[in-house]
């Protein structure tokens, strides 16, 4: 049996990864220059896949990386130990060598614990007591610098970085890593744009203007065409170009949804995609998201609902249109407040081109149902 050539869920690599060629080149050169970057994009936009692909390619230049997801960390102790563990593991050395190395570089007298799981994989942690915790934190934050100084280039990725402010580590982290300047490259990632923006664009916050803002874009139709058509062909099925256009019109090139659509379409197709199969797939994908969208809709104010409809009606441009505001019975001031609220909730965003929905399927659902 031939298996489905598409995939959606966690990070993708190799044959499941489509395009982003120029973005990968740019990120690699930023890393080589030791720049710190901020990468934000909506949920499921392909941030992790993209960054890991660029970093895997850098391994050939003997540049290592560590990846720490801050989403599930709730205390500073957890941060110290999870971070210490990924740093220790990145050494890829036998445990006793790792322990000795840290004994030589850490200023605190570290009590390093090593635990082995059922598969024999070690995990490292520090025995922390309250007196030396601040010191331990500083020490661990400086480990990447020690790596760099001993000749090992390293990139540190903090995913869901906005969470650092909940841990109350924002100022501390910044005060330490500013001295790592071009020796260690940091990548700050996340999907909560409004929170990240506040962290990096507010003059009173520690990370103000300390990074390059790296924007990843949706993947264009041409790239999807090649990707999807060739995967159908390799698995002895056929899809015409016009269907790719229809998929991308619906998903706006959003990676997760585009792969999901292609996956389901492939599953429903015996030999060749036709209109009936296409419509059935579209309906199924929308139905699957419906509950989530209904909750999202319930969670916004009446004025925010009106604002979303105006965005759809005006295609995101020249929104302050008297006729529209009158039609939806909303005053300019309230409309402005509603837009701000929607941006804060990461439901919409604004570019030089106008306003748009962060989630293309939610837009489709609102325009069809409400």
Ligand X SMILES: Nc1ncnc2c1ncn2[C@@H]1O[C@H](COP(=O)(O)OP(=O)(O)OP(=O)(O)O)[C@@H](O)[C@H]1O
- Which member of 20, 64, 192, 252 binds ligand X (CB under 6 A)? 20
The site that binds ligand X (CB under 6 A) totals a number of residues, namely 22
Burial readout 249-281 (b: 16 or more C-beta within 10 A, e: otherwise): ebbbbbbbbbbbbbbbbbeebeeebeeebbeeb
Burial readout 58-67 (b: 16 or more C-beta within 10 A, e: otherwise): beeeebbbbb
Q: Write down the residue that tokens 């560590």 correspond to.
A: 66
Partner that binds at residue 17, options Mg ion, ligand X, none, CB closer than 5 to 8 Å by kind: ligand X
User: Would you count residue 67 as binding ligand X (CB under 6 A)?
Assistant: no
Partner that binds at residue 9, options Mg ion, ligand X, none, CB closer than 5 to 8 Å by kind: ligand X
Burial readout 17-35 (b: 16 or more C-beta within 10 A, e: otherwise): bbbbeebbebbbebbeebb
CB of 69 to Mg ion, least distance (A): 8
Binding positions for Mg ion, 42-61, rule CB under 5 A: 47-48
Q: What is the phi/psi pair of residue 273, to 5°? A: -70, 135
By DSSP bridging, strand 153-159 and strand 184-190 are parallel
Per-residue binding string, ligand X, 171-210, x by CB under 6 A, is --------------------x-------------------
- Detail the DSSP E strand segments found in the chain: 37-40, 63-69, 112-116, 122-126, 153-159, 184-190, 212-215, 348-351, 354-357
CB of 213 to Mg ion, least distance (A): 18
Partner that binds at residue 368, options Mg ion, ligand X, none, CB closer than 5 to 8 Å by kind: none
CB of 263 to ligand X, least distance (A): 8
Please, which residue, 48 or 269, has the CB nearer to Mg ion? Answer: 48
- Which member of 5, 12, 70, 176 binds ligand X (CB under 6 A)? 12
With contact defined as beta carbons under 8 Å apart, do 252 and 315 qualify? Answer: no
Please, which residue, 16 or 172, has the CB nearer to ligand X? Answer: 16
Task: Give the interface with ligand X as residue ranges (CB under 6 A).
Answer: 7-12, 16-18, 20, 41, 43-49, 191, 255-256, 259
Task: Give the interface with Mg ion as residue ranges (CB under 5 A).
Answer: 47-48
């Amino acid at each position: 049996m031939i298996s489905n050539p598409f995939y959606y869920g966690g990070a993708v690599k190799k044959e499941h990864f489509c395009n982003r060629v120029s973005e990968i080149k740019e990120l690699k050169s930023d890393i080589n220059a030791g720049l710190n970057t901020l990468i934000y994009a909506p949920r499921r936009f392909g941030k992790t896949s993209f960054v890991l692909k660029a970093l895997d390619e850098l391994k050939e230049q003997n540049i290592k990386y560590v990846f720490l997801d801050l989403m599930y960390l709730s205390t500073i102790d957890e941060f110290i130990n999870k971070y210490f563990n990924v740093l220790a593991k990145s050494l890829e050395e036998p445990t006793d060598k790792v322990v000795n190395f840290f004994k030589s570089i850490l200023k605190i007298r570290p009590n390093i614990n090593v635990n082995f799981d059922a598969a024999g994989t070690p995990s490292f942690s520090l025995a922390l007591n309250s007196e030396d915790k601040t010191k331990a934190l500083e020490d661990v934050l400086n480990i990447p610098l020690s790596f760099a100084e001993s000749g090992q280039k390293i990139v540190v990725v903090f995913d869901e970085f906005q969470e650092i402010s909940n841990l109350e580590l924002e100022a501390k982290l910044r005060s330490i890593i500013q001295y790592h300047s071009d020796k260690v490259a940091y990548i700050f990632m996340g999907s909560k744009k409004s929170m990240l923006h506040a962290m990096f664009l507010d003059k009173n916050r520690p990370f103000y203007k300390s990074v390059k803002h790296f924007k990843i874009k949706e993947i264009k139709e041409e790239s999807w065409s090649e990707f999807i058509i060739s995967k159908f062909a390799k698995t002895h099925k056929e899809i015409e170009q016009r269907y790719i256009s229809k998929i991308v019109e619906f998903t706006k090139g959003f990676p997760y949804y585009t792969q999901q659509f292609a996956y389901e379409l492939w599953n429903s197709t015996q030999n060749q995609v036709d209109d009936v199969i296409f419509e059935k797939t579209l309906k199924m994908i929308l139905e699957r998201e419906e509950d989530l969208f209904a909750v999202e809709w319930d969670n916004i104010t009446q004025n925010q609902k009106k604002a979303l409809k105006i965005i759809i009606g005006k295609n995101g441009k020249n929104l302050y249109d008297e006729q529209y505001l009158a039609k939806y019975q909303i005053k300019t001031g309230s409309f402005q407040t509603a837009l701000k609220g929607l941006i804060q909730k990461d439901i919409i965003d604004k570019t030089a081109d106008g306003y748009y929905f962060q989630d293309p399927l939610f837009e489709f659902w609102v325009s069809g149902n409400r």
